[in-house]
Structure 1
Amino acid sequence: MMIQKKGITLLLSIVIAATTMVGCSNNKKNEPAGGNTGEKDSAPVKVVYLTPGDSAAKPIVAGDRIIAEINKRLGIDLEVKLVPEGGFEKINVAMATGDFPDVVTAQFPSPSLSQWIEEDLLVPLNDYLPDMPTVKEKLENSLSWTAVDGKFYGYPFIEEKSNMGMAFRADWLETLGIEPPKTLEEFHAALKAIVTQDPDKNGKADTQGLSASKSTGFNGSFNFVFYAYGLPHGDWVLDDAGKVAPAFEHPAFKQGLQYLRSLWEEKLIDTEFLINDNQQRENKFFQGRIGFMVTPLFRHVNRLETSLQKVNPAGKLGFSAPPVGPEGKHGLSASNKGGMFTAVTKEAKDPAKAAQFIEFMLSPEGRELLELGIEGIHYTKDGDKITYNEVEREKDGFASNGWSHALAWGNVVWPLTRNFLPQTEAQVDRAKESVEIGTANMVPNLVNATTAEEIELGGVFSGGVLGELTNQYYLEMISGKRDIDSGLAELAKKWRDQGGTKVLEAVSKAYEAQAK
């Protein structure tokens, strides 16, 4: 896990947006089953939870029966404070000004989280893990590397699956008599056919092959090409001497650039990919202007196809694994190194109860409650068939069409993690197939942890000044504004001069520690 340098300045004022407060009130109608006896030692433990909300979720309102059920099962009085999705700065400010919740979800990794750990603002979970079997299993296995000096300061939710896929106009390929491409050579031929053979038969030369969207850091839209040429990791590589090096110094990176340059010169790549946002890229797909794009699938499969068919009723969405390279190598996205981090703060009134709440959110019992609700109220079950009571769900913070409660997603798990789709969702089998493809094409990282230096300066594929520098040269080499050989040599020097040497030293130490 990252180690943060001391002295990071945090904001000293706080503005927490629209706080949603829920939980048991003093009214008898809101008491858990069995009631509160009124004795001081039997009063439910107050647990305040500060977390980003999910923009797709409904707000939690007073009297929410899911919150009441959590209170009943855990013997707590839960108050949820939501900030907007991605509103980590508001959480950072709350912590900086001493407005501590009992449980908090933060961005992982981040300078603020590192500082909280250094300043002992978070309670290590180690002593509570015997009563947290779901969390314990994850922390002691796939997430063991997130410990700091042997202590687990929270539950880091790092998605281990991928929904990324190579999406294409299946109807166009059928019209052209082309099978979904399996190799880079076939991929090149498919793009060329889309651009030159009028796949929509409108008599116009108005179709482009592959599109992408802009990025604030390194643009990874075409990373599948580098993986096809044998780039072995999603973050760093080892040079011939076995030392950690930036990925752009691996031979596969140069080969990938040469391939992409050829696509650009043949006008097989959307010339506007440098300025497209995600919506613009999707709109081009729906409007019949592009044939291929790498995009999130899973629960988007049906949305993408229905949006396409609103414009062209005969349109078909296809998706596949990425094309393989000359030696059969392949990949689509790097394994994740970051996500969310849910922890107990030092001001928790009862750390054991706070830890129990984290365990509940991740446990099978908690997932069932947050995803489906209370059986007989929010849904009924007949064998494997679920019938959703949308009238009752509407009252309690559930999203429509069988989607889940506001507390279900974004803190310790996503729908992708659970392969969760409501039974009302169309094309469930195809959606789940896309996850199998995406996950099988995740590329491992060389180094598990993200160092403080990477957080400060960036890396190769991450943001910061170093990621921006790599992106600048990368795009200029693809588009012919820079020679590839001289561009890579110049990038290697500038990257190191602007902080890369410092980052490499830190990453090398992390790699050595990981190998022990």
Structure 2
Amino acid sequence: MVERKGLTMKKWVIGLAAAALIVTAGCSNKPDSNEASTTNSGSAAEEPYELVYLTTGDQGAKPLVPNDRIIAEINKRLNIKLTIKISPEFSYDKINVAIASGDLPDVVTTQYPSSSVSQWIKEGIVVPLNDYFDKLPTIKAKLDNGLQWTAVDGKYYGYPFVSGMEKSNYTVQFRQDWLDKLSLPHPKTLEEFHDTLKAIVEKDPDGNGKADTFGFITNKPIAGDAITAFDFVLYAYGLPYADYALNDKGEVIPRFEDPAFKKGIEELRKWYGEKLIDPEYIIYDRPTKEQKFFQSKAGVMDGPLFRHVSRVEGSLQQVNPDGKLGFAAPPAGPDGKQGMATRPKTALFTAVTNKAKNPEKAAEFIEFMLSKEGRELLQLGIEGVHYTKQGDQITYNEAEREKDGFAPNGWSHPLAWGNVTWPIDENYLPQTEKNIDRAIESVKIASQYFVPNLITRRTDSEIEYGKAVNEVYNQYFVNLLNGKLDVDKGIEELGKEWRQAGGDAILTEINEEYKNQGAGK
């Protein structure tokens, strides 16, 4: 999942505890007796239900603020008293630690499918939503529209949000001001891409007289995932699928055993040997990578755009006033093949736990975040306070929005994204977005270069052994890239180690799944 929001670089990371690194935010606002009588479920006599929500954050969002009026409005509309605990984006392990500690929230968002969620279901830690479907029309409609595969014995134990199935914003990004200075067009082929990186390294585009600029920079993968930032090179050499490959017998094999992988690695080793790739990429997270790009330490990077166009270019221009962001399609290989975006097999999973004393009310909170009413509140705020509307024209009250943690320039509240949806899936851009045409163009370009998966879903063995085999793959990939291993010998050793780490079990199950999909029929 690559769509990530933000028009500010502020992070969520404040420690609730060293082990969990979780931010807690609550709102003490309670509905008065008149308000309580108008809530969706409840009467004047009912006390607000105290609901704790544990979720992963959105890297680009502002922190939650005390006395947040959006949280107060949610409290009023649902007759709840909401406490929110936020773990940094992608920190699913910290969510798992928090759940394992036994201090359960009412509602939790984490990654799916995963061994943790499977265990929670088996142990009854999360409860099925089916009994509450009459109160969950938005959730029910979304589950019925292509998410039936997430049911376990007919029960839905949470809402699985799968982002980026039809649209992508994952692109190759350039220091356009450097390309202009060096009179370079956007490279359309691997050969041109190599030459562009080489020019950035050798021709001093930042003009500081020092050989301190790399061509391409990326970041380490999310914990447990495989390195994929260089995959556009493998696809250019003809790697046909994003997950696996087929041998000449029609059997599913690891994709690194496809001949295209070897060709791609050999190309990348050349780039690495010529110092065109920042060798420390494996220790960078995404904000660090972007900072290197802003600070003129590299001229090309991979990453998401759409809503990020203004943020990335704005941050660049804070350091380099004349800086300009460019983006383009991935380069084509010798046979004209191209690819970059992939369709995910994972989701964000939001569920009600058995800690909830009122599971129906907890489920209604998830429904609210997905509903049209909830989306409008989280995206726009309270009408007459955070915005006004005349016809279709929206006027944003930025001074009031800032008081409640809304991102600037018409962007949204911290709870808007990173739990049940992302802007690209909502097709959401504020009317104030100054780069709206470029944002839309980035999605149009990126979405043309989806690479299909051979297997459409994650199997049980992939969930069980995926992290272990990916660690093996990443170790060998780094050593193949930096030249520490002979290519043929390294790929052979990788195949053995990968299978021993659980790959044999994965391939057995994957081949059966491939047959069940109707392969060769």
Normalised TM-score (structure 1): 0.84
In structure 2, relative to structure 1, the CA distance for the partners of 1:46 and 1:309 (3 Å cut) is closer
- CA drift at 1:225: 0.6
Tell me if the contact between 1:208 and 1:269 (Cα under 8 Å) persists in the aligned partners.
yes
Q: State the shift of 1:228 in Å.
A: 1.5
**Aligned pair 1:309/2:317, yes or no?**
yes
- Residue 162 of structure 1 aligns with which residue? 168
Matched, 1:251 2:259: yes
Q: Distance in 2 between matches of 1:279 and 1:51?
A: 20
Check whether the contact 1:24–1:31 (CA below 8 A) recurs between aligned residues. Answer: no
- Tell me, in whole angstroms, the C-alpha distance in 1 between the residues paired with 2:99 and 2:291: 41
Q: CA 1:367/1:278 → structure 2, altered by over 3 Å: closer, same or farther?
A: closer
**Alpha-carbon separation, structure 2, partners of 1:77 and 1:514:** 45
Return the offset for 1:341: 0.8
CA contact (8 A) 2:182 2:205 kept: yes
Q: What whole-Å deviation, never above 9, does each CA across 1:54-95 have from its counterpart, x for those lacking one?
A: 463332545x44345445545x42423313335655654564
Q: Could you list the per-position Cα deviations for residues 169-200 of structure 1 after superposition, in whole angstroms to 9, with x for gaps in the alignment?
A: 22232233332111222222322333444445
Are 2:492 and 1:486 aligned?
no
Measured in 1, the distance between the counterparts of 2:361 and 2:40 equals 19
Distance 2:92 2:283 in 1: 27
5+ residue gaps, structure 2, are: 1-18
Q: What corresponds to 2:16 in structure 1?
A: none
Match of 1:22 in 2: 27
**Do 1:145 and 1:448's aligned partners in 2 also have CA atoms closer than 8 Å?**
no
Q: Is the 8 A contact 2:30 2:81 kept in 1?
A: no
Out of 179, 186, 192, the residue aligned to residue 180 of structure 1 is 186
Q: Structure 1 residue 282 and structure 2 residue 290: aligned?
A: yes
Classify 1:276/1:152 alpha carbon distance in 2 versus 1 (closer, same or farther; 3 Å).
closer
How many residues align structurally?
A: 495
Q: Counterpart in 2 of 1:237?
A: 245
Taking a change above 3 Å as real, the CA distance of residues 50 and 289 of structure 1, as seen in their structure-2 partners, is: closer
Once residues 67 and 170 of structure 1 are traced to their aligned partners in structure 2, the CA distance between those partners, rounded to angstroms, is 41
Change (3 A) 1:120 1:207: closer
The residue that corresponds to 2:11 in the other structure is: none
Structure 1 residue 121 and structure 2 residue 125: aligned? yes
State the Cα distance separating 1:253 from its structure 2 match: 0.8
Shift of 1:293: 1.5
Indicate conservation of the 8 Å contact 1:47/1:349, yes or no. Answer: no
Where does residue 59 of structure 1 map in the other structure?
A: 64
Which runs of 5 or more structure 1 residues have no equivalent in the other structure? 1-13, 459-463
Rounded Cα–Cα distance in structure 2 between residues aligned with 1:125 and 1:363: 16
Stretch of structure 1 that moved more, 470-479 or 130-139: 130-139
**Counterpart for residue 461 of structure 1:** none
Instruction: Report whether the alignment pairs 1:503 with 2:510.
Output: no
Distance 1:435 1:71, change over 3 A: same
Rounded Cα–Cα distance in structure 2 between residues aligned with 1:18 and 1:280: 22
Shift in alpha-carbon separation, 1:180–1:37, aligned structure 2, 3 A: closer
Change beyond 3 A, Cα 1:426–1:98:
same
CA distance in 1, matches of 2:39, 2:427: 36
**Which residue matches 1:103?**
107
Name the % identity. Answer: 54
CA deviation digits over 1:374-409, x for unaligned, max 9? 211221023343222234334545344433223212
Contact 1:181 1:323 in 2 (8 A): yes
Matches within 5 A, 1:76-475: 76-86=79-89, 88=92, 91-92=95-96, 95-96=99-100, 99-129=103-133, 131-160=135-164, 161-200=167-206, 205-215=211-221, 218-458=226-466, 464-475=467-478
Do the aligned partners of residues 205 and 425 (structure 1) sit closer, same or farther apart at CA in structure 2, a change above 3 Å counting?
same
Other structure's SS at 1:20 match: strand
TM-score normalised over the length of structure 2: 0.83
Q: Distance in 1 between matches of 2:353 and 2:323?
A: 52
Contact 1:83 1:90 in 2 (8 A): no
Give the 3 Å change call, closer, same or farther, for CA 291–93 of structure 1 in structure 2. closer
**Whole-angstrom distance in 2 between the partners of 1:34 and 1:229:** 59
CA separation in 2, counterparts of 1:411 and 1:302?
23
Residue pair 2:58, 2:417 contacting (<8 A) in 1 also: yes
Asked if the contact 2:217–2:300 (Cα under 8 Å) also holds between the matched residues in 1, the reply is yes
Q: Which residue of 2 aligns with 1:8?
A: none
Contact 2:31–2:76 (CA under 8 A) maintained in structure 1: no
**Aligned to 1:298, what secondary structure does the other structure show?**
coil
Provide the C-alpha distance between the structure 2 equivalents of 1:17 and 1:202, rounded to a whole number of angstroms. Answer: 42
Q: Alpha-carbon deviation of 1:410?
A: 1.4
Contact 1:184–1:324 (CA<8 Å) still a contact in 2?
Answer: yes
Q: 1:264 to 1:15 in 2, by over 3 A?
A: closer
